[in-house]
Structures are given as C-alpha cells and as structure tokens.
Amino acid sequence: MATRLFETIGKLGLGLAVTAGVVNSALYNVDAGHRAVIFDRFQGVQDTVIGEGTHFLIPWVQKPIIFDCRSRPRNLPVITGSKDLQNVNITLRILFRPVTNQLPRIFMTIGEDYDERVLPSITTEILKSVVARFDAGDLITQRELVSRQVSEDLMERAATFGLILDDVSLTHLTFGKEFTEAVEMKQVAQQEAERARFIVEKAEQQKKAAIISAEGDSKAAELIAESLTTAGDGLIELRKLEAAEDIAYQLSRSRNITYLPSGQSMLLQLPQ
C-alpha cells in the first residue's frame, strides 16, 4: 500500500515537473524599453513586434529575439582628408535606436548586431563626403556648420536602414602633424610681424618727437638771437643773475656747506 502511494506521488511530482518545464519554456519576458521579434521554425520571422511584458510562445517551435529600443551612445573615430588635402582626425558621438516597427526587417536583412554592421560604414562615408567640402581652416571656424551638415546627411542615410539618430555631435577634431606645425609657424610669423609693426610705429613717433623738439630748439634760438639783437648783453647778464640766484638757493638748502665772506678781514677777527 505504501509502495503504491509513493509511486503515485512520484508520478504526480514528475508530471508536475514536466508541466512546469513546459509552461516555463512557453513564457518569455520583454523588459522595459525592449521589443521582441518571433522567429518561427516553420514560418520564419513574423511581422508582429511584441511589446513589453510576459508573453506565450510555442516551445521548440518559436524563439524570441529581444532588441533594445532605447537610445544608446557610440563613439566612432574616422581619419579623412579636407578639401586642401590635410589629414583630419574626427570622433563622432552618436545616440541611436532602431525603428520599432522595422525590427523584423532589420533582423532579417542585417541581424542582431545591426549597429556594428551599419554605423561604422555609413559614418565613415558621410564624414569623408562632408569634410571634403571644407578646407582645414574652415573646419575650425565653421565647426557648427560642419556638424549640422554631418548630422543631416547621417540621419537621412541611417533612416534607410531603419535606424533613428537622436543626436550627432563632433567631440574630437585634430589635424596632422604637418598642418599643426604650419599653423604654429604662421602664428609665430604673425606675432613677429605685429612686433615689427609696433617697432616701426614707435620709431615713427620718436622721429616726429625729435623733429618737433628740433623745431622747438630752433625757434628758441631764433627768439634768443632776436632778444640779443634788441637788448644787447643785458639779457645775458639777466640770465647769469637768475642762474646764480638758483645756485645759491640750492646750496643754502644743503646742510654740508658753510659760507665764508670774501676777503681776508674775516680771518683777522677770529679769537686768538
């Protein structure tokens, strides 16, 4: 009796385990921000896109392929040439996601790793096309225009593959060693030219100042000559007196100078 009971319980447990396994294999979950595409072994990829939540499928016949439909970033470095044949190193940052209703076509034509197969190729193609329209200097001064042109062309190109680009931006832009050295040499030359121009302007100002000073001295000499002709030696004597007065005033302010009257009578009056 006990043996039969245990056999019955064992059969029930085995049946429950098999049933649970079948039910579990018939369920699958689609997380938030994801979508699923069903691959049927007999019918192929179904056109229906499965949304978020828990869903049923036919075990061993159907298989869910889960796609992340949230925006994801990707940095893509590209080396290309400008219009004036300068090497340019550009890094492009892209936020991309697939078009939800085109997931079956993306899976059939490209695969689950669609970003690895599509983005590098179309990014290189668009960047080479756009950068080739600008000179190296224009890539710096018109960076916003270059970024906008790349963004518009790349979004249009990605749409043909069922991809949406939420943002496209140039995060890194450098040039080859030769061009960088040429720019530095140009800046040094411009600084030297500015310095030379300043020196020339300074010399011109000094020349003008010397001319004005010489003209002033000449005019002063003419006035002195006219005064001497008019007043004779009186002007010279007046200048001597003014100079002597100024010298006496300056000497009187010095503590290290003692004045003695002229003549020898002063010495005779000193105490014995």
Q: Which two tokens stand for residue 236?
A: 């010279």
42 pLDDT higher than 70 = yes
Contacts of residues 41-47 at CB distance under 8 Å and 24 or more positions apart, as own/partner, are 45/104, 45/107, 45/108, 46/104, 47/104
Tokens of 257: 């100078």
pLDDT for the residue 173 = 85
Q: Sorting pLDDT into bands at 50, 70 and 90, what band is 24?
A: low
Query: Is 93 in a helix, a strand, or coil?
Result: strand
Element holding 72 (H helix, E strand) = strand 72-81
Which of 12-21, 30-39, 263-272 is the least confident region? 263-272
Packing angle between helix 114-131 and helix 143-159, nearest 10 degrees? Answer: 140
The DSSP string of 149-176 is HHHHHHHHHHHTTTEEEEEEEEEEEEE-
Q: What is d(CA 176, CA 77) in angstroms, rounded to the nearest whole number?
A: 15
- The b/e string for 171-182 (b: 16+ C-beta within 10 A; e otherwise) is eebebbeebeee
Q: Which residues contact 226 (CB under 8 A, 6 or more apart)?
A: none
Q: What is the mean pLDDT of residues 166-177?
A: 85
Give pTM, 2 decimals. 0.59
Mean pLDDT of the chain: 80
**End-to-end CA gap in the chain:** 164
pLDDT higher than threshold 90 for residue 242? no
pLDDT at 4: 66
Q: Residue 167's pLDDT is what?
A: 92
Please compute the mean of the pLDDT values over residues 77-82 and round it to a whole number: 88
> pLDDT grade, residue 231 (50/70/90)?
low
Residue appearing with tokens 């290290």: 256
Residue 270 has pLDDT above 90, yes or no: no
Query: Which pLDDT value is given to residue 37?
Result: 94
- Residue 124 pLDDT > 90: yes
Q: How far, in Å, CA of 185 to CA of 180, rounded?
A: 9
User: In angstroms, rounded to a whole number, what is the distance separating the alpha carbons of residues 124 and 147?
Assistant: 14
pLDDT of the residue at 199? 84
Distance of alpha carbon 144 from alpha carbon 155, whole angstroms = 16
> Quick one: average pLDDT of 197-217?
82
What average pLDDT does the segment 1-12 reach?
62
What confidence tens digit (pLDDT) does each residue in 248-260 have? 777 777 666 665 5
* Per-residue model confidence as pLDDT tens digits over 80-123: 888 888 888 899 999 999 999 999 999 999 998 999 999 999 99
Q: What is the structure's pLDDT at 23?
A: 57
Q: Which residues contact 101 (CB under 8 A, 6 or more apart)?
A: 49
